[in-house]
Structure 1
């Protein structure tokens, strides 16, 4: 994930399993349709889809990389963030389908044959990738998608505000709630967890000591710790200490930068903008522990590059993906650190990323390595949406958390049966 230009929760909306389910099996489509590219290739045309990143210079960077590729003309479709999913999956049903596109690992895309097996281009450098990134893209021993960036998410806080209120950095949910109360004034809210709180639902599960699914692809989120967390978040929601009407959502650092809150949940991608606005007056900390089985957690988002397996230029597209996202280490480091801050998924590139070696950026990498949790490829958008409903009903409304989770279980088990029998 990275900052966006519209008020939109990319973590939950951009996973397209729901869109895939609605569309059904994706029709075969070709991308060798005579479109001219902007590169220096020798007649072969490829099209790649990217959503519009919020950081200045990102569009120019992607097009600059593509222009340098000599074996094909690569055209970039830079798509407005809040329409990206719709346009991507509509295009995949047509002759205008992209050859290459960025997205998140989703098991439906693999089971429907939409994305190509990239094991052959990744295997030679597999050991250089974060093992969790390889695992989250692997089904039946085959790797689908090349991870481009890892995006840890955590809390930002204003050091001066915590010092003035005599508040220590929270390590438990109870302490976070207490901090929110002490930091709230007539002009500043203590906490911002996103406008509808769904941004923190993965951390709610992880910090309660649970998982979305277990190793047997069975529900693992329905625990006493998660119930406790939901109950306490409901109390917090009604406390008056949460910022609930921020002009932009959690992915944008405007709330903390403009002094609307003292503590904001957000992503590492926002750090350069926060540094520019606040100087040294900020710190970061992981999502705090929930309950007796709790643990600190850092949810890892991120983006991956996929090849359209139903296009007519699959081999050429794979060759381009290998060239840019496997071979061009300088460009990969540039993409990860020259705009927003992201962690390169490859150890050799992360080791030379000097911008991530000091200050709060180094602390973010440390938190990521110590407390990071990754998406489960089997926990689909339909399941994520079902848990969105839990957050709505048990946190923002007044439903018994046990009942809300029971309703979620019914929906999730229905999806699990479809996928795994």
Structure 2
């Protein structure tokens, strides 16, 4: 496997497209994940493989860490996209790490120089990782990305985590909590939603046409 400059450059682009939001790891993915994965592969292969690895057929090898809750979702979805676009030019090794020990293992790996090239993390970890030299400034890379305007400014601020530049990239957003007004459900005679489908069904039942 080819490593070195070509790999380091690819890491920068790859991180900007694949890094996670807030460690939110529900069972499903999102359109953000889907598009980011595909365009990350394009960015790395087009801008880096051709320029830095020109003249060699050796693939670039990257290691991607994610916590176990997303096993089967992250790897299956991203792996297919990388392989479909990059073919043999990029090899991504997906490694599942238990969520309970993910932070400590990541810190240890980075401090010993054995950390992954790409990983999901919570924004609150950013200052610590930055202080260790474990993050790359992705501001310029992001600004040059053709889909940058589709990312909400609020999400980007969350990713900056109080730092001066963009070191993380939002991958997925999920709803952590949902509050219901008890009186509205009681008046409509419906139960509180326990699933997403029940939530949308309740929204329809609670919608009132104020114009008659």
Q: Is contact 2:107-2:129 (8 Å) kept?
A: no
Structure-1 separation of matches of 2:26 and 2:158: 23
User: Given the two structures, how large is their TM-score scaled by the length of structure 1?
Assistant: 0.29
The residue that corresponds to 2:34 in the other structure is: none
Q: Provide the C-alpha distance between the structure 2 equivalents of 1:100 and 1:56, rounded to a whole number of angstroms.
A: 17
Match in the other structure for 1:168: 183
Q: Which runs of 5+ in 2 are unaligned?
A: 1-23, 28-56, 205-212
Which of residues 130, 144, 155 is equivalent to 2:167? 144
Segments of 4+ in structure 1 off by > 6 A? none
Question: 1:66 touches 1:75 (CA, 8 Å); kept in 2?
Answer: no
Structure 1: give runs of 5+ residues left out of the alignment: 5-40, 171-178, 180-261, 265-270, 284-358, 364-421
**In 1: Cα distance, 2:74 partner to 2:128 partner:** 29
Partner SS, residue 102 of structure 2: helix
Q: 1:140 to 1:103 in 2, by over 3 A?
A: closer
Q: Radius of gyration: which is bigger?
A: 1
Aligned to 1:123: 143
- Partner SS for 2:111: coil
In the alignment, is residue 64 of structure 1 matched against residue 80 of structure 2? yes
**2: CA distance, partners of 1:109 / 1:149:** 20
Give the Å deviation of 1:141: 4.3
- Counterpart residue number, 1:135: 157
Structure number with higher relative contact order (C-alpha < 8 Å, ≥ 6 residues apart):
2
Aligned to 1:98: 116
Shift in alpha-carbon separation, 1:95–1:109, aligned structure 2, 3 A: closer
Residues of 1 paired with 2:115 and 2:96: CA distance?
Answer: 14
Q: How many Å separate the matches in 2 of 1:169 and 1:81?
A: 38
Partner of 1:45: 61
Answer yes or no: is the 8 Å Cα contact 2:68–2:99 preserved in 1: yes
> Is the alpha carbon distance of 1:116 and 1:169 closer, same or farther for their aligned partners in structure 2, counting shifts above 3 Å?
farther
Q: Residues 60 and 133 from structure 1, CA distance in 2 versus in 1: closer, same or farther, beyond 3 angstroms?
A: same
Whole-Å separation in 1 of the counterparts to 2:71 and 2:65: 17
Equivalenced residues, count: 141
Q: 1:156 to 1:89 in 2, by over 3 A?
A: same
Deviations 1:91-136 (A, max 9, x none): 2223432111111222232233220000122113433211011112
2-structure distance, mates of 1:82, 1:169? 39
Matched, 1:109 2:129: yes
Alignment of 1:195-214 (within 5 A): none
Q: CA RMSD in A?
A: 3.6
Q: 2:104 matched to which residue of 1?
A: 86
TM-score, scaled to structure 2: 0.52
Q: Greater strand share, 1 or 2?
A: 1
SS in 2 for 1:75: strand
Alignment of 1:5-44 (within 5 A): 42-44=58-60
Q: Deviations over 1:60-94 (max 9, x none)?
A: 22332343434422111122222322322222223
Distance in 1, Cα, partners of 2:133 & 2:73:
34
1:56, distance to aligned residue in structure 2 (A): 5.4
CA contact (8 A) 2:63 2:117 kept: yes
More helix by share: 2
Other-structure match for 2:6: none
Contact residue 71 and residue 96 of structure 2 kept, 8 A: no
